[in-house]
A and B are shown apart, each in its own frame.
Chain A
Amino acid sequence: MGIQEIRETMKNCRFCFMCRHACPTFLATKLDSHTPRGYALLLSEIDEGLKEWSNECIARFYQCSQCGLCREDCEFHWKEDDLVRHAREEIVAIGREPQNVKGIAESVRRTGTPFGHRKNESIGNVFKNQQNPDVLYFAGCSTHQFHPEVVQSLTGLLNYSGLSWTMLEPEICCGMPLFDLGYPTFAHQQAESVAQLLADRNPRLLVTGCPHCYRAFQEKYPEWGVSLPSSIQVMHSTEFIDQLMRERKIELKSKLALSRVCYHDPCQLGRKMGIYDFPRSIIHQVTGHSPIEIFHNREKAECCGAGSALFFSDPGISTQVARVRWNRIQEENPQLIVTACQNCKTALQGVSSIDVLDISELIIQVLGGDQS
């Protein structure tokens, strides 16, 4: 998005209050400076030379989860999430990004991941760096770091399916958090490295359970001019699992006795990439019941607070946002929350009093646990 487009968004959003009711950060904090109007007004003050970047103003721009709900809610779909990202790029350009944001970028620069390099301890070496497999499973940095159980579930399903598969060792950051945090050039470089590693392995299918990685591969890499070999098909794990079930590579012999499962739509997978039905179909097949819809769902689903690396850049605000979403989910009195994003799982687990599972874990439960 060029500066002219950003200025057009600023002009249209800076005095408009219409989407404030939807903004998940505003719902948590009730600050006007946490609304899309607030961001547009603050950025236009800077852009027009009325103000300098203050620490408070910088902090605000890193407290938006870039979930895109304001854009969805808006009659004219002004791209406020892009405006926030542009502001972050300006902040990074003057070297004023918050210390923990800087730390994430430095960690990727040093180790390839936001958390420092770690091996895929959850699987055996035999599966790593294989050439020409059916599937290359790209778990994503935060899945490795916080949810090895999700990696185990997905690899268990791959074993069950009988497909040949592999993972990258080392698996490095796809670049998406860097892009979201205001480091576009670094994100492109990272994308080039990942694309090269993937091309070397040459899988038929690239599967990731991380919606951020999925969006990077499907949408951002082409936008950035980073090309994956055209022979590689990219799928999110929900689509992949749904396909395995339809092709009877996964056959369920029983159902889980759960009648009230709530599915939380991850912003990156739903609103940004349009995947709503695969996870719902899987939940229906596993439990025999359609998921209970949360009051705001699908394209109107509120962010869980983990979007755009918010739980790294401002864990306090992230938790407040997660509480608002949990309150919304609680209204449905669910037995279980299912989601399809490891970051949503982290955020919701932190505030909910019931279990939160990734969709792959739900399937593994009905298949009878460890399939490794």
Chain B
Amino acid sequence: MPLLPMSRVILKNFFSRPATRLYPFVVRPAFAESRGRIAIDYPQCIHCGACARRCPANAILVGKEPKSWRIDAFACVTCGLCVKVCPKKCLRMDNERPKSADFADKDSRVESHVTPPAPEAGGPNGA
């Protein structure tokens, strides 16, 4: 056994920076393949519901009337199947992981988009 095998580490520790980062002020850049969170380019969405049907965790809800799309970030397992089945390619997997502080209140875990119904022609509020 070499004499004092940890001595090199001790000396190195005197002159090196800490192995940890000052999270959340310093964040390691995410890898290209990292599973972060599902994001949507909502104006592109055609509300076909393919993502909601394929989702193994039932995290996505697509409404037809009024048109809406919502995802529960806590239910999502980031499997990426919705991204694969989306016919308009408007869903994507962001590699940046959300910070836990982003979910501080209960509503913030749900991302929701609703298209307001188009005013009917000739109706009371119509043109």
Q: Do A and B come from one complex?
A: no
